[in-house]
Structure 1
Amino acid sequence: MAATDFDAELKQLRATLHTVEQVLDLGAMKAEIDVLGEQTAAADFWNDQAAAQKVTSKLSMLNGEVDRFESLASRVDDLEVLVELAQEEGDADTLGEADADLGRIRKDVEALEVRTLLSGEYDVREAIVSIRSGAGGVDAADFAEQLMRMYSRWAERHKYPVEVFDVSYAEEAGIKSAEFAIHAPYAYGTLSVEAGTHRMVRISPFDNQGRRQTSFAAVEVVPVLEQTDEIEVDENDIRTDVFRSGGPGGQSVNTTDSAVRLTHIPTGIVVSCQNEKSQLQNKASAMVVLKAKLLAKKKAEEAALKKDLKGDVAASWGDQMRNYVLNPYQLVKDLRTGQESGNPSAVLDGEIDDFIEAGIRWRRSGS
């Protein structure tokens, strides 16, 4: 194996970090942090709780971005010192450790570089993820539940809070559908590349004859709206139904009709929420999801119109975007980017960053 050219690698890392610093505009970020910090110190800051929460959320996001960049820059500095010492002393073991550390740092720098590609109008927003089982019967319901766990584990790995709005359990196993929010800056821009139809091939654990089964599940990702977003919903266009929350197997999880289902009559969009004990809280949460879906629909229609006007006949995001094959071989493959993993168990346990990053780069290259 050829010896690592640390000088060239470190030079490349610094060049990439410099580009990232310019794109993120770290100076402007720090200036905004100072301004927001002064606002939080005001005596009347918490008089308007909604506005205060918005400020503290933005401050937390900016601090996180700056800390992430500066931590990486510091790791590059430390690596350079370690390499110099090891080379001076001819310490092969330490150089081996430095090589391993270089690989980890390179991966983290590449991930940060991908963040600079998220420049869409809503990319910075938090995300609402919807999962729906498709063709494949009980296997599809089980697959949908595995996808929900995959995204929840991904969020957990990144320390992103997940808020479950609604889960509709299937009769035998798995789920018919689920709706949940991932509360993190850029969650929408990051996870939007996961939208589409996911396909699993495996020996069905629900088939007595042990036959191979193909099942499908759909993933939808929309941004969480803010008060400044222009989406007006006429109350007369909404049908509200209340029902009793239920858990797996149809067991009641409370004894009041607190769960809420909203149907937007003009579009047919239906959302449910049952995570809160209060009917009012559930209705408010359901309205957040409904508005997000209406905005996504509006944007999709605008994008389709622009495509028609441009006469663009190139293929867009395909309906089926990723295969999870557990039998007769083990492989997860993204059909758009070619990204692969021979470890489906790890992918289904939330190790999807490589797929997400490849998707973001692929989307940018085709835009």
Structure 2
Amino acid sequence: MHKSIMSKLKILSNRYKELNQMLSNPNIIADKSQFLSLSKEHSKLSILEYYFNSWKELNQEIQSLKSMLSNEELYNLVQDELNITYIKIKKVEKKIILFLVPQNYSSKYNCFLEIRAGTGGGEAALFVKDLCRMYIRFSEMQSWETKIIHSNYSEYGGYKEIIIKICNKEAYSKLQFESGGHRVQRIPATESQGRIHTSTCTVAIMPEMSELKLPKIKSSDLRIDTFRSSGAGGQHINTTDSAIRITHIPTNTVVECQDERSQHKNKSRAMSVLTARLQTNLLKNRKQSESQVRRNLLGTGDRSDRIRTYNFTQGRITDHRLNLTIYKLNEIMEGNLNLLIDPIMKKYRDKEIEKFLQK
């Protein structure tokens, strides 16, 4: 085990023992607020204490087995047992490190999923619709609730832009690495000569962090316009000016919402998206001076970064950040995104562990 980790474990182990004594103190028990706070800390450290004790027991077992290697008759048997114990202690060490590595502070939040058509005209708009369906199917598999906040239909079918709110505290943690450029290669239905077209869409994942302190959004900084909703046609098109466009003048951030028939509801939804965008920009500015690990692995997260290619003619999907190609495109488009999400999360977690061990 790394020296810095051992040092931290000993400090936390002493703290755990200290908490045991404090929680038996009548004065602390009488103070409900302090008792609750210390109990939470104790509960968390009890897990680490369990792993640390397991590690010490396995380490003693290894030392004992090593001392028996000099016995030629038992050598093979001891070596086999030693190899098994090494595997066990490595697993415990990984759990300890994962416990100690700082967690992403913005991981436990609902999120907004924003998909926009890029190059490719009508085919790009149709791909936005396909990606939207893919993410909704994935959310359904996770039992997450989804709400369409805003949609802007394309005259060719599909969407020019769509914003969806995904309601689950694990949503941002799972989807945070989806931000960036998504490229599709396929033969459009309107292509008579069977030529493959390349189109692009951009995806942005924005956490909904209500408790993040933001500069107060002044009403004087907002320009609010109303207009008549547009849609795919039929009876659902509104005949009143219920659609809302909000412009945050200092940052020139524009948000539209037209999916509700109530102007009040559209305004409320538009404000929630505006808040998320301002929060995302604030976090981006705060993190500019931090480590480049995430940037190196995931790119900047900007819309222009191409992260993935969907090739329908070959049935493959490639994540360019990992140089990973999977020939299960249909399965992924049906919502099995874990095939792509799990590898990128593991890679990022491994990078964070590596960075932690270098401290």
Bin of the TM-score, shorter chain as denominator length = 0.5 to 0.7
Distance (whole Å) between structure 2 residues aligned to residue 364 and residue 272 of structure 1: 36
- CA 1:201/1:251 → structure 2, altered by over 3 Å: closer, same or farther? farther
Tell me whether 1:150 sits opposite 2:131 in the alignment. no
Q: What residue identity is the alignment partner of 2:331?
A: A
Contact 2:297/2:321 (CA < 8 Å) preserved in 1? no
Question: What residue number does 1:89 align with?
Answer: none
Tell me whether 1:286 sits opposite 2:265 in the alignment. no
Question: What residue number does 1:240 align with?
Answer: 224
- CA 1:295/1:313 → structure 2, altered by over 3 Å: closer, same or farther? closer
3-state SS, counterpart of residue 169 of structure 2: coil
Q: Deviations over 1:23-54 (max 9, x none)?
A: xxxxxxxxxxxxxxxxxxxxxxxxxxxxxxxx
Q: 1:79-94, aligned counterparts within 5 Å?
A: none
Distance (whole Å) between structure 2 residues aligned to residue 316 and residue 325 of structure 1: 21
Question: What residue number does 1:79 align with?
Answer: none
Q: 1:260-279, aligned counterparts within 5 Å?
A: 260-279=244-263
- CA 1:216/1:342 → structure 2, altered by over 3 Å: closer, same or farther? same
2:125 to 137, 141, 146: 141
- CA 1:312/1:230 → structure 2, altered by over 3 Å: closer, same or farther? closer
Q: Which of 168-177 and 114-123 deviates more?
A: 114-123
Q: 1:142-181, aligned counterparts within 5 Å?
A: 142-181=126-165
Distance (whole Å) between structure 2 residues aligned to residue 265 and residue 188 of structure 1: 28
Q: Which of 272-281 and 127-136 deviates more?
A: 272-281
Distance (whole Å) between structure 2 residues aligned to residue 118 and residue 337 of structure 1: 23
Q: What residue identity is the alignment partner of 1:317?
A: G
Cα displacement (A) at 1:228: 5.4
Tell me whether 1:325 sits opposite 2:307 in the alignment. no
Cα displacement (A) at 1:365: 2.8
Q: Deviations over 1:117-143 (max 9, x none)?
A: 992111100010100010111111111
- CA 1:311/1:347 → structure 2, altered by over 3 Å: closer, same or farther? closer
TM superposition score normalised by structure 1: 0.63
Contact 1:139/1:206 (CA < 8 Å) preserved in 2? no
1:365 to 326, 350, 353: 350
Distance (whole Å) between structure 2 residues aligned to residue 256 and residue 186 of structure 1: 38
Cα displacement (A) at 1:355: 0.8
Question: What residue number does 1:348 align with?
Answer: 333
Cα displacement (A) at 1:205: 1.5
3-state SS, counterpart of residue 128 of structure 1: strand
Question: What residue number does 2:51 align with?
Answer: none
Distance (whole Å) between structure 2 residues aligned to residue 305 and residue 232 of structure 1: 24
Question: What residue number does 2:205 align with?
Answer: 221
Contact 1:131/1:177 (CA < 8 Å) preserved in 2? yes
3-state SS, counterpart of residue 341 of structure 2: helix
Contact 1:330/1:343 (CA < 8 Å) preserved in 2? yes
- CA 1:157/1:315 → structure 2, altered by over 3 Å: closer, same or farther? closer
Distance (whole Å) between structure 1 residues aligned to residue 137 and residue 157 of structure 2: 20
Q: Deviations over 1:1-41 (max 9, x none)?
A: xxxxxxxxxxxxxxxxxxxxxxxxxxxxxxxxxxxxxxxxx
Contact 2:227/2:241 (CA < 8 Å) preserved in 1? yes
Distance (whole Å) between structure 2 residues aligned to residue 271 and residue 115 of structure 1: 39
Contact 2:315/2:330 (CA < 8 Å) preserved in 1? no
Q: 1:166-205, aligned counterparts within 5 Å?
A: 166-205=150-189
- CA 1:150/1:312 → structure 2, altered by over 3 Å: closer, same or farther? closer
Question: Aligned-pair RMSD on alpha carbons?
Answer: 2.7
